[in-house]
Amino acid sequence: MPDDALFAAVTDPANRADPYPLYARLRERPVARQRDGSYVVSGHAAIRALIFDPRLSSEDLPPFRRPPTGNPIRDWILNPIRSRIASAHRPLIFRDPPDHDALRAAVMREFTIPRVQALRPRVVREVDALLDACRGRERICLVDDLSYPLPVSVICDLLGVPESDEPQFQTWATQLATALEPDARGDVETRRHTVAAFDAISDYMRGLIREKRRCPTGDMLSGLAAPGPGGRKQMSDFDLIATAILLLVAGHETTVNLITNAMLTLLRHPEELARLRADPERAPRLIEEVLRFEPPVHFRTRKALGAITLAGETIPKGAPIILLFAAGNRDPARFDAPDRFDPDRPDLEHFGFGGGLHYCVGAPLARIEAEIALVALSRRLVAPRLMHDPPPYRPGASLRGPEQLHIGIDGIA
């Protein structure tokens, strides 16, 4: 396979179960131009240099355009206006400073460590309830039975979404996550479904924000909707809706993959599962190694605001850039025996939650959810074993994780 076609192979679903040999090929040139004019950055040092470079822009999404409906008034007047508003008020992960910094600061005032830590008992109860519901079975699907329902329940609780509305949020989050997949952005049918999901969740959030302002309930969305320092709005209503949608999608989809990838890795390394069962205090280090070894997010896209020379290659102004975090996480120039799963390795400077300005704001919550889930699974699943290896994977190459993970068990302790 030619070097300039390697990233196209990464996005091919046929390579989803094991993209790491392709990443090793890409690391031979830490910055590599592809046939479509994009530049893949795969070396740890090169990624680290770029995530702090002000010439790197996150505003790389194409203009928001709604597919035609056949209704002239909607297609020529209403939808163009709505599309311009959506393009101007993207979520903060697609924004550069100073807009990004202002929006992130408002989120961090509400997404505090004490608020996240206070969710621990809630997460413990939810995990136990989900596992209790599996009693009497000889097989579970980790994704359906725990990894999916847990994060959506927790993030909805954090935002203040009524429990009865949680099921539709799971559907919306799954569809909106396709915006992170470069190969899905140009597909007309995918865009049609994504736009429909975006409009539906936007309308829902607009109504929920009005209710939070009328009757605050102490949750995160109530805090973001309230006046900020000096009595001014913390962000416009359009930005508030986009931020709420981002928190839902990012707080859900990535945690699903983190829990599922972690359990898959433990089942492939039964000695580590046994060690976790005997010593739950190992969970934090184990999770950090999973974030390096099998991260929930494999890459993010950017564009160059100016010419950037790095690792012997010059990236021209305006060129698309792919930060291949999962390849950097296994760079032998940075980690000893990088393809070995080793929670005891002394240095875990990974890109599991990105880095730089866009380091994941929900990282503390994702760690707590994964820690509680993995400890409970190690202690309560009796004689767990993989039913299929590799399991079937979800379509996306960026948000990479199993679509299903069937585990045979002898019971629930």
Contact 378, 263 (CB under 8 A): no
pLDDT the model gives residue 186: 63
Buried b or exposed e, range 376-393, using 16+ CB within 10 angstroms: bbbebbeebebeeeebeb
Q: Is 284 helix (H, G, I), strand (E, B) or coil?
A: helix
Contact 325, 299 (CB under 8 A): yes
CATH architecture, domain defined by 3-408: Orthogonal Bundle (1.10)
Contact 107, 361 (CB under 8 A): yes
pLDDT the model gives residue 109: 92
pLDDT the model gives residue 55: 96
Q: Count CB-CB contacts under 10 A for residue 61.
A: 16
Contact 368, 79 (CB under 8 A): no
- Tell me the per-residue pLDDT of 72-125, one tens digit each, with 9 for 90 and over: 877 777 777 777 888 788 889 999 999 999 999 999 999 999 999 999 999 999
pLDDT the model gives residue 410: 97
Contact 329, 352 (CB under 8 A): yes
Record the pTM: 0.93
Whole-angstrom distance, CA of residue 351 vs CA of residue 107: 22
Contact 301, 182 (CB under 8 A): yes
* Phi and psi angles of residue 217, each rounded to the nearest 5 degrees, phi first: -125, 15
pLDDT the model gives residue 68: 77
* Phi and psi angles of residue 348, each rounded to the nearest 5 degrees, phi first: -125, 55
| pLDDT (tens place) for every residue of the chain, 413 residues total | 788 899 999 999 999 999 999 999 999 999 999 999 999 999 999 999 999 999 999 998 777 777 777 778 777 777 777 778 887 888 899 999 999 999 999 999 999 999 999 999 999 999 999 999 999 999 999 999 999 999 989 998 999 998 888 888 778 877 787 766 776 666 677 777 888 888 888 999 999 999 999 999 989 999 999 988 778 888 999 999 999 988 888 778 899 999 999 999 999 999 999 999 999 999 999 999 999 999 999 999 999 999 999 999 999 999 999 999 999 999 999 999 999 999 999 888 999 999 999 999 999 999 999 999 999 999 999 999 999 999 999 988 999 999 999 999 999 99
Contact 307, 19 (CB under 8 A): no
Whole-angstrom distance, CA of residue 173 vs CA of residue 21: 30
pLDDT the model gives residue 214: 93
Burial class (CB in 10 A: 0-12, 13-18, 19+), 413: exposed
Q: Is 50 helix (H, G, I), strand (E, B) or coil?
A: helix
pLDDT the model gives residue 370: 97
Domain limits, the chain: 3-408
